[in-house]
Structure 1
Amino acid sequence: VGDNKYSLPEIEAGGELPNKLHLHARMIDMPHPSGGRLTVAADLQAHMAESWNRLGFEPDDYEDAFPGEES
């Protein structure tokens, strides 16, 4: 998605996606030296939220995409 050179023409995202970098560290969760966990989450930038909406993703979903996987 978003690759105008290698993507197939029949695969469309419902219109043009913003021509900006779509690289984002959504959330990081790691052990804290105190024995607890440190979790930091970041909101999407506006152009990424727009793309997520067009692709059918929920921009405000912070659930674990890979439940059961080791953190």
Structure 2
Amino acid sequence: MKALYQACENGYEKLQIFRLLGLDAKNSVIQICINETSLIENESICQLDPAKFDTISEYVVLECDWILQETI
């Protein structure tokens, strides 16, 4: 799973893999971003293809990278 996470090309994909890993972000803001990104309602409202449009903040992705590196 870690290799799959690192192979992802955009933040949306990384967040989906991060959620599957079941890791807990100690930072409540990051945890909210992880949880809200997965909601179908958010995807429907935006109407953007997450593979083409990286809507995830770089800060969130970097924080997830750090959490993954520290825990696994």
**TM-score interval for Structure 1 and Structure 2 normalised by the shorter chain:** under 0.3
TM-score (norm 1): 0.26
More helix by share: 2
Return the structure number with greater relative CO, CA threshold 8 A, min gap 6: 2
Larger radius of gyration: 1
TM-score (norm 2): 0.26
More strand by share: 1
